[in-house]
Amino acid sequence: MMSAVPASEAPLGTLAAPEPEVRPDLWPSTTGRGADGALQIGGRSVGEILADAPTPVFVLDEADLRGRAATWAAAMAEEFWPGYGMNGGEAYYAGKAFLTTRVARTVLSEGLGIDTASAGELAVGVAALAEVDGEAATAHATRLGLHGNGKTCAEIRTALAHRVGHLVLDSAEEIDLAAAAVRELRESGHYAPDETGSVMLRLTTGIHAGGHEFISTAHEDQKFGISVATGAALDAARAVVTAPELTLHGLHSHIGSQIFDLAGFREAVGVVLRLRHQIAEATGVLCQEVDLGGGYGIAYTGADPVAPSPAEVARALAEAVRSLCAELGDAVPHVSVEPGRSIAGPSMVTLYTVTGLKRVELGEGAARLYVSVDGGMSDNIRPALYDAAYTALVANRRPDPEAGLVRARVVGKHCESGDVVVRDVDLPADLAVGDVLAVPATGAYGRSMASNYNLFTRPGVAWVEAGRQGWVLRPETIADLLALEGD
């Protein structure tokens, strides 16, 4: 039986979640329906997964994660191959999307570096690098980076001590902190007397791209970066070049998140390379590397477009870099990017159990079904924080097409009216308590932004591959929460 929807909303049926065979870009690559109608991921049915990992649980398809990392590494290596007149290219996985030592080992093993934004993320990167490349590699950790605003003295010193490939400074104050840290490292004997710290500068390019205001990071009135338009970036470059403790290695740009249109990246290439040329004219130093950041979009619902592939992104960037360097008469820089969401996001699905159903009459025959699940904003804050849209489908069985659909809102258990998991989705009208819902594309900024609000325990992350299963992160317990309390 069909249920009417408000006249202002999309027609019933248009918001149903696409099955994996219809929109494979929404789901991990191994996802499909088994003979019994239940969803399968990594060779395991939903029932098998939940037998060892009760809901709510994030399910990571390891083969999918590995494949996405390898694809980015290959795309950058090919498009920026020196044989094509370029100067090499690579991708650094943006660890803020989701990072554990297991994930870090995977992306490093597939040829990526890791971009970190805190002492904790950097420590995970260092630990994984030691396992993949050997302990000696951590002394010259060129495959790791540290960025972010407001870095502490300790964070900058740690990054310099490991000689990370990307230490991205965000302000004039951080330039002073980096110089002071190098002096300390020289005095302690960790650095040679004339050794310098290699740094990059994060630029505010003035190019706005992406979605919600909170995830747009290149306009002037925000906390990140050093302004190109005001001349502050050129001044910062002069400060680095004249500091005897530092070497200006490169320039960094990040223009936003969840970007589908590559035009913004092409514009950013122009701003960054023209500043690079200006710095060379002013100081004699032509930066070796340009990091064009991340923010590459993914589909979350059937209404979203299919995102550009890593190959398409890399080719667009390579063409822009090649063309402008020829125009300026500058040598082509080494180019790096920082995909995070586009690697982790589609590789993971969240499974929830339906715990309650509440039909709300909206007038004129319209109704909405509020579907309560056993998780909520503590395992995915993005809908409340950014109005992020997700979708969901019934995962433990194939829905009966004769049952019809109902306009639904999937909500969590928290004491907030904004505790919404999926704001609008069309679900089977025969949905029942105990059914399992699968929400795709939750690998980026789901578990990494999870909280203990209402003293919920954070869900675990189960890995699946080729019919096997284990824990990436085990689920928290109430005992874990109590163990943090003081006397």
pLDDT value of residue 7: 86
Q: Nearest 5°: CA angle at 207, between 204 and 213? A: 90
The mean predicted confidence, pLDDT, of the chain is 95
Rounded to whole angstroms, how far apart are CA atoms 141 and 162? 6
Which pLDDT value is given to residue 127? 98
Q: What distance in Å separates the CA atoms of residue 2 and residue 10, rounded to the nearest whole number?
A: 14
Structure tokens, 420: 């919404």
Start-to-end CA distance of the chain, whole Å, equals 58
Residue 212 reports pLDDT greater than 80:
no
Asked if pLDDT for residue 119 goes beyond 50, the answer is: yes
Tell me how crowded residue 65 is: count the other CB atoms within 10 A of its CB.
28
CA dist 103 and 228 (Å) reads: 35
For residue 403 the two structure tokens come to 């049952």
- What is the model's pLDDT at position 464? 98
> Per mean pLDDT, which range of 41-45, 135-139, 398-402, 454-458 is the poorest?
398-402
CB 85 within 8 A of CB 322: yes
Asked whether the predicted pLDDT for residue 334 surpasses 50, the reply is yes
Structure confidence at residue 223 (pLDDT): 67
User: pLDDT by residue (tens digit) across 238-282?
Assistant: 999 999 999 999 999 999 889 999 999 999 999 999 999 999 999
Residues of the chain with pLDDT > 70, as a percent, come to 96
Reading the block at residue 86, the tokens are 């370029």
Q: Report yes or no: 91 and 113 within 8 Å, Cβ to Cβ.
A: yes
* Strands in 229-387 per DSSP E: 246-253, 289-291, 334-337, 348-363, 366-373
Rounded to an integer, the average pLDDT of 303-332 is 97
Whose tokens are 């027609």? That residue is: 11
What mean pLDDT comes out for the span 124-143? 98
User: Is residue 305 pLDDT above 80, yes or no?
Assistant: yes
- Structure token digits, residue 324: 């402008």
The Cβ-side half-sphere exposure at 40, using a 13 Å CA radius, reads 16
Whole-number pLDDT of residue 210: 52
pLDDT band at residue 220, thresholds of 50, 70 and 90? low
Contacts of residue 459, defined as CB under 8 A and 6 or more positions apart, other chains included, come to 55, 56, 57, 58, 350, 375, 379, 447, 450, 475, 476
**What is the model's pLDDT at position 1?**
45
Task: Please name which of 389, 424, 448, 348 lies closest in space to residue 211, comparing C-alpha atoms.
Answer: 389
DSSP secondary structure letter of residue 187: H
Cβ neighbour number for residue 63 with a 10 Å cutoff: 17
Output the DSSP codes for 38-49: -EEETTEEHHHH
- Per the model's pLDDT, the better-predicted residue between 217 and 94 turns out to be 94
pLDDT at 209 (0 to 100)? 62
Distance CA 275, CA 251 (A): 9
What domains can be seen in the chain, in order of their start residue?
Answer: 24-61+347-483 (2.40.37.10), 80-339 (3.20.20.10)
Which positions ≥6 away from 400 have C-beta within 8 Å? Answer: 428, 430
CA distance 303 to 311: 23
Average pLDDT estimate for 90-107: 98
pLDDT band at 213 (very low <50, low <70, confident <90, very high): very low
Active-site amino acid positions? 415
CA–CA separation, 169 vs 149, rounded Å?
Answer: 8
Sole residue written with tokens 């191994």: 30
User: Please, which residues have CB within 8 angstroms of residue 380's CB and are 6 or more apart in sequence?
Assistant: 350, 390, 421, 439, 442, 446, 449, 450
Say yes or no to pLDDT of 208 above 60: yes
Q: pTM of the full predicted structure? A: 0.95
Give the pLDDT confidence of 39-87 residue by residue, as tens digits: 999 999 999 999 999 999 999 999 999 999 999 999 999 999 999 999 9
Higher pLDDT, 209 or 125: 125
Three-state DSSP state, 198: strand
Residue 349 reports pLDDT greater than 60: yes
Residue carrying structure tokens 């032509």: 286
pLDDT tens-digit series, residues 351-399: 999 999 999 998 888 889 999 999 999 999 999 998 999 999 999 999 9
**Per-residue model confidence (pLDDT) at position 269:** 96
